[in-house]
Amino acid sequence: MRGFHFTWTLLLFLALPAFGQQPAPVPAAAPASVGYTVFLRGTPIGHQDVAVRSDAQGLVISGQGQISAPLNVITRRVELRYRPNLDPQSLAVEARIGDVEFTLNTAFENGSAVSKGMQATTPIEATDMVSPLTVLLPNVFFGAHAVLARRLAGEAPGTEYRAFVGPGAAQVTLRLRSERTEQMQFGTSTFDVHHYELVFDNAGMPLEVHLYADYIGTLLRVTMPAQAIDFVRDDIAGALSRTRVTSNTGDEAVVIPAPGFNLGATITHPTNAAGRAPAVILIGGAGSDDRDGTAFNVPVLANLAGAVSRAGFLAVRYDKRGFGQSGGRRESATITDLAEDVRAILKWVGDRKDVDSKRITVIGHAEGAWVAMLAAARDRRITALICIDAPSTSGADLALEQQQLVLDRLKATPAERAQKIDLQKKVQAAVLTGKGWEAVPPELRKQADTPWTHSVLSFDPARVIEDVRQPILFIHAALDRLIPVSHVDRLVDLARKESKSKSVDVVTVRGVNHLLVPAITGEPEEYASLPDLNVSKDVTSAITDWLTKTLPAAAPRR
């Protein structure tokens, strides 16, 4: 998802503000820099060097780097200076975003930020009011988060900060949602890291950011799930490392072979299993590429794995190709490719001596339901199919529906709404037909003209479900505001009329949102304040009850 938990076609990548400066001098005693790799959907797209110096004069964060399409940012020089109490002192940037050069110098004094610079040939002069202890977060430089890695240590959940992203822009509020200690796995070794979940007030829409730091406050990683962007220190950016977010009793890390690469995965062994156990393969939605399916601090897939294992099923969850400990390339992947990955896992699971190969279910959440549906339509070794919060329309129609959702939350004017919808339609038409790109801004074409986007926009569950023969269970959260509950009614009707399945069941779970946790309104704005971050037992019970009924224990062999 780009923007929300399922918005992958709105092209809502980071909004890079236009700023600039007069080049700042390089500090005389510049500290050694540390490299960080920038990933988009698991694919490296750039690199930045970050240097942090702290002394009696305060804190200085500086760096440079380059990020390729679709962000297209060359950061020639950035310097952020903080006073000893971490109140901002100055910001200097020299960068190019797309084809536009920017320079900027901003001085912070007595609650004001005075900025001067150039945007191409246009001078920039602005004075903005800023709060004390404001955090400097110019979007051209992810290394700016290094100050947060230090400031967050010991802070209580609920602590709020103000951020300055550029001249002329309103200050952004960010709130510490939670902090916990986790283990970073590097090969077979582990070490403790602090995991901070932050929620940014992004024009009325919550933007989730995860920051990881070591015990002395060194920045290790920044993750923005909605944009599928990761900023990771080089020494832990390899496929050998991953953060162990959630563990279940019976978890075991495994490597599953796929054509041309391996998939990093976790199997959860069933509780008190006797003989060959039935198995479940779990597939996360867009923006949930890690095996735990984590979104807004809810480990959706890990929770589901624990629940089905306690019901006697072996559960498999995995990092999607090109992400975490999985190989492969995401930039050229399609929904069909992801379904083929599921089939590779299916073969591996079916060959295990502790699994009953005649009782294997695939469960997909959101976009993952489409992947599960396609895999089931193509492979009869899949015994049963469960689709959770699945969209019922084509990807193109869903993109427009979700764009309306975003525009409603932005309170766009009628003129703005019409302009954005028209542009979205032009982008989609160009993606689907290969024609009309001249009417699309070049930077949007770089984002949209990909095999992945084409496969999503052209996907139509109505065409795929015709070939599904397995028993199907549709589960939908009644408070899902991203994929409204009306979608499940259409899917059930399609499955009962068009599919080859002889068993189609549906469960609508009241009081649960798109993240499958208890909620009041279900709106994305509520995600940051949810008290219960575990998948609802009403959801897990619906799954395990149906599985037990649909795939009863095999009769003992004589």
3-state secondary structure 283-329: ECCCCCCCCCCEECCEEHHHHHHHHHHHCCCEEEEECCCCCCCCCCC
Q: At 473, which amino acid appears? A: L
Range(s) of the chain covered by CATH 3.40.50.1820? 246-393+460-550
Strand partners, 47: 37, 66
CA 453 to chain CA mean position, Å: 16
pLDDT tens, position by position, for the chain (558 residues)? 333 333 333 333 222 232 222 233 333 333 468 999 998 877 788 899 999 998 889 999 999 999 987 888 999 999 999 999 999 999 999 999 888 899 999 999 999 999 999 998 999 999 999 999 999 999 899 999 999 999 998 899 999 999 999 898 778 899 998 998 887 765 445 678 899 999 987 655 678 899 999 888 899 999 988 788 889 998 777 644 455 556 788 889 899 999 889 999 999 999 877 789 999 999 998 777 889 988 877 889 999 999 999 999 999 999 998 887 888 877 778 999 999 999 999 999 999 999 999 999 999 999 999 999 999 999 999 999 999 999 999 999 999 998 888 787 777 788 888 988 999 999 999 999 999 999 988 878 877 888 989 999 999 999 999 999 999 999 999 999 999 999 999 999 999 999 999 999 999 999 999 999 999 999 888 887 888 889 999 999 999 999 999 998 654 444
Distance CA 66, CA 53 (A): 22
C-alpha triplet 178, 184, 190: angle, nearest 5°: 135
> How much is the pLDDT for 21?
29
Measured CA to CA, the distance from residue 315 to residue 270 in angstroms comes to 8
> CB of 505 within 8 A of CB of 478?
no
3-class DSSP state for residue 532?
coil
Q: 468: which 2 tokens?
A: 């599904």
Interatomic CA distance for residues 488 and 389, integer angstroms: 7
Indicate the class that CATH gives domain 246-393+460-550: alpha beta
Q: Residue 358's CB: how many other CB atoms inside 10 A?
A: 12
DSSP state of 531: S
CA-CA distance, 19 to 29, in Å (whole number)?
A: 27
Amino acid at 329: R
Q: Tokens representing 253?
A: 């890390």
In angstroms, rounded to a whole number, what is the distance separating the alpha carbons of residues 456 and 533? 29
Rounded Cα–Cα distance for residues 13 and 229 (Å) = 9
Contact status, residue 134 vs residue 171, Cβ threshold 8 Å: yes
Single out the residue of 137, 140, 84, 130 nearest to residue 107, CA to CA.
Answer: 130
- pLDDT on residue 14: 28
Distance of CA 456 to the CA centre of its chain: 16
Q: How many CA atoms lie within 13 A of 49 on its CB side?
A: 10
Confidence at residue 557, expressed as pLDDT on a 0 to 100 scale: 41
pLDDT at 133: 94
Exposure letters 462-483 (e unless 16+ CB within 10 A, then b): eebbeebebbbbbbbbebbbbb
Any residues with CB less than 8 A from the CB of 552 and at least 6 apart, and which?
none
So what's the pLDDT on residue 189?
54
Position 78: which residue type? V
- Rounded Cα–Cα distance for residues 262 and 239 (Å): 10
- Give me the pLDDT at residue 556, please: 44
Collapsing DSSP to helix, strand or coil, 409 comes out as helix
CA distance 88 to 294: 33
Dihedral angle, C-alpha 520, 206, 332, 457, nearest 10 °: 60
pTM of the model: 0.67
